[in-house]
Amino acid sequence: MKTLNLTRHTLLACAVTLLVGCGGSSAADTAALTTTATTAAASVVDTAPASATVIDNTTASATTALTAAETTTLLFVREEEKLARDVYLTLYNRWGTKVFQNIATRSEQQHLDIMGNLIATYKLQDPVLDNTIGAFTDPVLLGLYQDLVMRGSTSLNDGLHVGGFIEEFDINDLQEAIDEANAGSKPADIIAAYTNLMCGSRNHLRAFVGQIENNGVDYQAQVISQATVDAIVNSPEEQCR
């Protein structure tokens, strides 16, 4: 479990470093963002629980016993979806660009609810204790939310690049989660949910890249490979379940 968390949070810290290049930040800004993500990542890895707290939920029924790593990932993805929703709603309020509102309200909220239902099914303690925009249990995600909102508030182009970053990060993270589940207890419902969320992330990436390129800017990959990004944006929008 700690190895998986280290991989995820190290990637997050490195990706934030890449993100700051979108708007031409100063060296001081870059160092501050990187330090924030790296410090928070180390804190989460060191304090990662061996298992999640179980709650009494007599209406829920899970068919598979999750491993500790799968449980940690499920809880992380729940807040990760809240991160996307909250950043997009904040950037919509800043720029008034519909792509942020549409993805936040029509898709990310649905993804957040799907993960919440799975947490109830597996009788886990929901990390989303406060649904307020910008409230997070995971300090890594709290720091990332603040960094992304700061970056996305610089210009509309930076905001759209923040959207691209979030979706690339989600695609990478969800594939890791699927691989973990397939190698572990193989929970069919969770794997199906992750697959559906990743389908949505590919569509969102298409939307953000389309907006960026319509503004005359060539989009450069921020987390996953350029070849993977190109393959996604050059293929038709998908019908996700």
- Kindly report which listed range (58-72, 79-93, 197-211) carries the lowest average pLDDT score: 58-72
Distance CA(80)–CA(140), nearest Å, equals: 10
User: Tokens standing for 45?
Assistant: 């890895």
pTM, two decimal places: 0.81
Distance CA(45)–CA(74), nearest Å, equals: 16
Q: What's the confidence (pLDDT) of residue 6?
A: 45
Domain ranges of the chain: 52-233
Q: What's the confidence (pLDDT) of residue 191?
A: 98
The CATH number of the structural domain formed by 52-233 is 1.20.1260.10
